[in-house]
Structure formats: C-alpha cells, structure tokens
Amino acid sequence: MKHLLTLILLFAFLLSLSQKRVVDSILTLLNNANTDTAKIRLRYVCGEAAKIYRISFWDSLANDAQRLGAEKYYALSLNNIGYMQDNQGKTSDAFDMYYKSMEILRRIGDKENLASTINNLGIVYKRQGMMQKALECYFESRKIREDINDKHGLAYALSNIAVIYATLGEREKGLVYDLQALKIREEIGDKEGVSQSLSNLGVDYIYTEPTKALDYFIRSLKIRREIGGARWEAATLNNIGFVFFTLAQKEKDIAMQKDFVAKALDYYTQSEKISVGLADKNGLSYSYYYIGSAYMITKEYQKAEQFLNKGLDNAKATNNLELVKNIYDRLYKTYKSQNKIANALEMHEQFKFMTDSLNTRDNRNSAIKKQMQYDFEKKETLAKAEQEKKDTITKEETKKKNMILGFITIGFLVMAFFAFYVFRSLRTTQKQKSIIEDQKKIVEVQKIMVEEKQKEILDSIHYAKRIQDSLLPTDFYIDREVKRLKN
C-alpha cells in the first residue's frame, strides 16, 4: 500500500513537471510574440495546456479575441466557458455559450471545432435527461467527423451514441456503435480509446453474457495498466468484481457461489486500495458498497454492515444521493437478517425518505427539464431560422456572384474572340502586304530584266546598223561615182 501510494505520487509529480515545462515554453513564446493575434492564440494554447478552469480567464480571452477579430479563438473561448458553466449547474448559460460558439464556427468553416462544440452540447442535453436531443447532437458530430476524416473524433462520437442507446434500454443498438468505435480506435492505435471501448462493451454484456463482459473488462484493465490512469483502473476493477458478484447471485451451488464472491472481493479490494491512494471518496463509496453487498451473499452480515456504513459515510460526503438510498436499502436487509429490528426500521425509514426525496426531485427536475426543453427548442428554432436566413442571403449573394462571374466570363470570351479575329486579320493583312511587296519586287526585277533585254536588243540593232552603215556606200558616194564614170 505504501509503495503504491509512493508510485502514484511520483507519477503525479512527473506529470505536473512535464506539464509545467510545456506551459513555461508557451509563456516564453507569448512574451516574445510580436502581434496581438499571435498572443491571443498562445494564450488559448496556454490555457488548454495548463487546464485552466477559471471562467474569468476564458472570459477575458473571449473579449480580447472578439475585439481583435480573432473569431476562431473567440468561439473556442465561448465553448470553454460553456463547459465550465455546465459543470457549475448554469445549464441555460452553457447553452447560450455553445450556440454562440457554434454559430461562429459554422460561419468561418471550422468543422473540427464545430464537431467538438456540438458534442459538448449533446453532453448537456444528456445530463438534462433530453436523450433524443443528445442523440441528434452526437449524430451531427459524427457526420462532421466523417466528412473531415477525423477518426479519433469519430470514435468518440460513436461511443457517445452507444451510451445514449444503452441509457434508453436499446443495448443492441448501443453494442453496434461500441464495436464500431473499438474497430476505429484499434486501427489508429488509440490505446486509451480502446480501453474505454472495451470497458463500454463489458457493460453492454454484463447481464446477458457475463463471461464475454469479463473478457472485455480484463482486456481494458491490461491496457489501462500499460498507459496509466489510476482512477479508470479502479473503476474497471470494480466492474470486474461486479461480474463475479452477478455470477454469485445467480449461482445455486454454495461452493461455486463462495468462489465467485471471493473473486469479486479480490477485485473490489484492489479498487479500494487505489481509491485510498487517490483520496477518491466517490470511488471508495462504490468499493465499500460493493464489498458490503458481496458479504451479504455469504451471510457475513457483520462485515457487510461494517463496509456498508463506510460506504454510506463516503456517499454522503460526495452528495451521491442515489448511492445513499441504495446503501440504506442494503443496511435495512443486513440489520433485518441479524434481527436488529430497531436498526432495520431506521434504515427502512431512511430508505423511504430518500426514495420520496429523489422522486420529488425527479418530478421537480422533470418539470424544469420540460420548461428548459421548451426554452432550448425555442432558441434552437430561432437559431435555425437565423441560420436559414443567412444561408438564403449567402445563396443569393453566391447566385449574384456567379451571374457577375458568368457575364465577366462571357465578356472575356467575346473580347478574346474579337482580339483573336483582329489579330488574325492583321496577320492576314501583313501576309498579303508581304506577298504584294514580294510581287512588286518580282515585277521590278522583271521590268529591269526586260529593260536590260530591250537595251541589249537596241544596242545590237544600233551596232548592226553601224556595221551596215560602214559596209554599204552612201548615196552621195554612189552619185559621185556615177557622174565620174559618165565623164
């Protein structure tokens, strides 16, 4: 026990040290950031890394992000504020924050964070008992995860859908989604997710096929011990113990029954030790309740009384009223079996009082839920109407843009055709001009050649004539010679 506590404290110290180093690194970057937008982003990352759960921190960041137009971080801050308001019981305020965050994320097209916010909205609906609305949110989140191929987020959405179906008593449907989630988590190597899915499947089979449930729980426990997470390990040990407890309740053979009870007590005790180390009163209240219930089967009533009373103290300290009611019922049966009539009567009265109180609370909560559902549906209707209006405006603007783009395209094509026509005409003209120029040159050359030929012919004629003139006697010469001969 001492060694286990030392290991848990050492792990917690190392985890906090590692976390501190990450935060310190982010703070260094924040101090050196040059732009306001970068500072907003780093403040958000720092808040996430340091797991800051102060609304004032996120409220300040949301205001600064809105002022600077950093819409993504404004929306994410609103989402975190909604989460914390929900944990504080301010459900209506949480809804407002989630719807504002969703509206911004839809507008800027941040599908991954939109899916996460819708999932958170589904958790609020589930806590308010509005299972159908929660289911709608989880299905929408699943579709977005599929669209963006976010397998980790898809598996988470599928697990949430399975939980809703199990809560509604439709375990067969829940089983289908749990198996789908397990397959995806095994494919992507998400060990923590695999452990969670295996545990969920164990719960699915715990009453119908306890042997199969036991197999799933043991596989989940093995992975949980590999990756760490003492609180989850304690819960899984209680689940394994509960399987043996269920088998013991059904078993008629006394020896087999005692064997099942011994195994149940072994796992319950292991869970108790871890919860003691974590100072987890809620976990301890369940461990003591289960241990006391196991001793009731073997009729060890004094031990049962001892552990049930310890469970009652822890359940009251954590205000787990449903568990308090169940422990009163077990104590009533324990005292009655020991013939402690006064104690049994007191426990029975307490049980009846708690039952009436919880029924009154449930009735009151039911009325509140109906009113809240009306308010939420009204808000959702208004939000959808506003979104449809925006979508219509966007479609009209897109239509106008497409028309303008069409006209511009047609104009461009006409201009391109005209430019091509002009260009082709110019080329044709230039080509024709070039041909004409070439033809003119040819004609000039031919003219020169003809002129040269003519000149050659004329020169030949003149030359022949000169020769002729030089060979034939002139008329004067002939007349003179005739006269001389007559004389």
The pLDDT-based confidence of 72 (bands split at 50, 70, 90) is: very high
Among residues 39, 15, 17, the alpha carbon closest in space to that of 28 is found at 39
Mean pLDDT to the nearest integer, 247-253: 92
Between 33 and 129, the higher pLDDT residue: 129
Q: In this predicted structure, what is the pLDDT of residue 5?
A: 34
Mean pLDDT to the nearest integer, 86-110: 89
Among the residue ranges 116-130, 311-325, 460-474, the one predicted with the least confidence is 460-474
d(Cα 392, Cα 147) in Å, to the nearest integer? 23
Give the amino acid at 353.
F
* pLDDT above 80 for 191: yes
Q: In this predicted structure, what is the pLDDT of residue 98?
A: 92
Rounding to the nearest 10 degrees, give the CA dihedral for residues 92, 94, 100, 104. Answer: -160
Q: In this predicted structure, what is the pLDDT of residue 451?
A: 66
Q: In this predicted structure, what is the pLDDT of residue 452?
A: 63
pLDDT tens sequence across 124-144: 888 777 888 889 999 999 999
* pLDDT above 70 for 466: no
Q: In this predicted structure, what is the pLDDT of residue 391?
A: 65
Percent share of the chain, pLDDT over 70: 73
Q: In this predicted structure, what is the pLDDT of residue 18?
A: 45
Max Cα distance, the chain (Å): 206
Q: In this predicted structure, what is the pLDDT of residue 3?
A: 35
Q: In this predicted structure, what is the pLDDT of residue 231?
A: 86
Q: In this predicted structure, what is the pLDDT of residue 399?
A: 72
**In this structure, is the dihedral angle defined by the CA atoms of residues 84, 87, 93 and 96, taken in order, positive or negative?**
positive
Mean pLDDT to the nearest integer, 290-300: 95
Between 140 and 458, the higher pLDDT residue: 140
User: How far is the CA of 332 from the CAs of 40, 290, 325, 358, 448, in angstroms?
Assistant: 58, 16, 11, 18, 139
Among the residue ranges 112-121, 319-328, 459-468, the one predicted with the least confidence is 459-468
Between 431 and 71, the higher pLDDT residue: 71
Among the residue ranges 11-15, 133-137, 365-369, the one predicted with the least confidence is 11-15
Q: In this predicted structure, what is the pLDDT of residue 459?
A: 63
* pLDDT above 80 for 377: no
* pLDDT above 50 for 17: no
Query: In the structure encoding, which two tokens stand for residue 468, read together?
Result: 């002729």
Mean pLDDT to the nearest integer, 76-80: 93
Mean pLDDT to the nearest integer, 135-162: 93
> Radius of gyration over alpha carbons of the chain, in Å?
48
Query: Beta-strand (E) ranges in 372-481?
Result: none
Between 177 and 52, the higher pLDDT residue: 177
pTM to 2 decimals?
0.60
Q: What are phi and psi of 263, to 5 degrees?
A: -70, -40
DSSP annotation of 35 reads S
* pLDDT above 70 for 105: yes
DSSP annotation of 351 reads H
Rounding to the nearest 10 degrees, give the CA dihedral for residues 341, 347, 349, 351. Answer: -140
Q: In this predicted structure, what is the pLDDT of residue 19?
A: 47
Among the residue ranges 145-159, 263-277, 368-382, the one predicted with the least confidence is 368-382
Whether residue 12 contacts residue 229, with contact meaning beta carbons closer than 8 Å, is answered with no
What value does the mean pLDDT of the chain take?
Answer: 80
The pLDDT-based confidence of 29 (bands split at 50, 70, 90) is: low
* pLDDT above 80 for 120: yes
The pLDDT-based confidence of 14 (bands split at 50, 70, 90) is: very low
d(Cα 231, Cα 276) in Å, to the nearest integer? 11
Mean pLDDT to the nearest integer, 203-223: 91
The pLDDT-based confidence of 380 (bands split at 50, 70, 90) is: low
Q: In this predicted structure, what is the pLDDT of residue 271?
A: 94
Percent share of the chain, pLDDT over 90: 46
Helices assigned H by DSSP within 319-340: 321-337
